[in-house]
Amino acid sequence: MLVNSKSGALISIRDRGLLYGDGVFRTLLARDGIALHRQQHLDKLQHDCAQLGITCPALSILSSELDEVLLQYPDGVVKLIVTRGIGGRGYAPSADAQPSHIWDVTAVPQYPQDWYSHGVVVRVCDIRLSEQPRLAGIKHLNRLENVLAAAESGAADSAEGLLLDGQGRVIEGTRSNLFLLCDGCLITPQLHRCGVAGVQRDRVLAYARAQGMMVQIRDVMLAEVYWADEVFLVNSVFGVWSVRELGERRWQKRTFATRLRTELTQGEW
Amino acid sequence: MLVNSKSGALISIRDRGLLYGDGVFRTLLARDGIALHRQQHLDKLQHDCAQLGITCPALSILSSELDEVLLQYPDGVVKLIVTRGIGGRGYAPSADAQPSHIWDVTAVPQYPQDWYSHGVVVRVCDIRLSEQPRLAGIKHLNRLENVLAAAESGAADSAEGLLLDGQGRVIEGTRSNLFLLCDGCLITPQLHRCGVAGVQRDRVLAYARAQGMMVQIRDVMLAEVYWADEVFLVNSVFGVWSVRELGERRWQKRTFATRLRTELTQGEW
């Protein structure tokens, strides 16, 4: 664990990350000393910081610290948090605030092998995502909606929950992005009102476009999920999970998701 | 500063308060060793914890720790944070998580005396509050909207900014609650979709009802603010501020707000 480039596991109680959730984060999978898709994650971190007006630490520093972390923890889930740091008067950020940055590593979650080979059971969360265009797409530290979704009764009976907005549009999973395959067209919800745009989502889109597939990024109503030929979820830790069950609907088909998992593991998308 | 009943100013980087903003807080004003309206604040803290399913530390413990804090810092702004603590698998809270609680004290902000005697200049924020009924009213740690509002250009030229929702309803100030006086009727926005219900707001409502005033808690469109006879903002730190200017509108009248400030200071509302 590193806190502001020093070994440690503690942070000031005056850090705005704690006080206001005023920061962003990334979750990278490390295997055999390699952090997968590290450049995409660092680019996304920089992008999200800019969206919030947080000065992102230099990528050269983050990159060399990541090397240090990987030497000590070659396998695990690497979390990188950047906050606006300490200071400012109440909510107003100080112009000269020094951002904080934090590295932490936890064990890779061991999901049932069956979830990869036969797909996962998914449910629809009760809570609806609020719409905030200024925060949409950003992986920021205001994650109470995800917490409440994951705490719902019934959450333990499924591998993932789908989050809808107040209009009944499906946006994402609680910790993943959602894709549908309909008549050969790849569809994923647009994330300009709410939701988090993950690195793995970008990689799927890049792969699909490189294959010449028709791709649609648009509003998706829940009903469309039930009609889809294939449904799958992606994130940087578990990779790709086919959905095999949602309510009464069962899917047998997972041809594309299976190929995708192989391609994303091998290729540099 | 106390962190989990021990002297200190640091917290674990794995605390869910930092990771997800998974917690709540209170801001109390301490004067001459007395924390104003402490019981209302502790009650509200307990209520907000319950809303999020966080186990609130025993009020007897919090109360005796507050006494300890006040002995050391008889004057200041006392902040109390309760988070869900460490643990859980990703967003899902662990059933046996031990909450964290944190005390901190900062200097009382010195606002211009003029703001109390002649009222404040207020602006309308650009950012619109998102609607999340599950979090509305709660003083939780997901405060990025307030941060973005306070960081807007123009924020420094006014004492406070009014936050509207996406439908043009006015909800609150960035760090205060809003009241209008219209033909002798006291009006304040309802906070079941967004906003924070402060202790000082409750006290104003209690006072007005005890005076036999007509009180309305309902949706308020921004236009109504311009029509109001008196407009004022309240919170636990500055107390009551009349609004004297919003855009082109000027108010001379502050009879009610002036009386209210005296009554709230003296009375146990």
Convert the pLDDT of each residue in A48-60 to its tens digit. Answer: 999 999 999 999 9
Q: Is the pLDDT of residue A37 over 90?
A: yes
Chain B: give the shortest CA distance to residue A263, in Å.
Answer: 27
Q: Residue B220 belongs to a domain with what CATH number?
A: 3.20.10.10
Tell me if A130 and B127 make a contact (CB, 8 A cut-off). no
B170-224 tens-digit pLDDT? 999 999 999 999 999 999 999 999 999 999 999 999 999 999 999 999 999 999 9
CATH of the domain at B35: 3.30.470.10
Give yes or no: residues B84 and B143 share one domain: no
Give the residue numbers spanning the domain of A37. 2-106
pTM (two decimals): 0.97
- Is the same domain home to A65 and A198? no
Of the residues B106, B132, B157, the one at which a domain ends: B106
Test B142 with A146 for CB contact under 8 angstroms: no
**Inter-chain Cβ pairs, chain A and chain B, closer than 8 A:** 166
Residues B91, A131: C-beta atoms closer than 8 Å = no
- Cross-chain residue pair A166–B131, CB shorter than 8 Å: yes
Whether residue B182 contacts residue B228, with contact meaning beta carbons closer than 8 Å, is answered with yes
pLDDT at A64: 97
Q: Please tell me whether residues B180 and B140 are part of one structural domain.
A: yes
Same domain, B89 and B148: no
Instruction: Check CB contact under 8 Å for B11 and A18.
Output: yes
B53 chain-A contacts, CB cut-off 8 A: 151
What is d(CA B211, CA B222) in angstroms, rounded to the nearest whole number? 27
From chain B, the residues in CB contact with A159 under 8 A are: none
Higher pLDDT, residue B265 or B188 = B188
Which of A53, A86, A106 delimits the end of a domain?
A106
In 3-state terms, what secondary structure has residue B74?
coil
Q: How many domains does chain B have?
A: 2
Are A125 and A99 members of one domain? Answer: no
Task: Give the residue from A106, A133, A161 where a domain finishes.
Answer: A106
CB proximity list for B187: less than 8 A, separation 6 or greater: B179, B180, B181, B215, B216, B217, B218, B220, B224, B228
Tell me: do A124 and A87 sit in the same domain: no
ipTM score assigned to the predicted complex: 0.97
Interchain pair B92, A19: CB under 8 A: no
| Interface test mutation site (partner B, options A104, A132, A193, max chain B beta carbons within 10 A) | A132
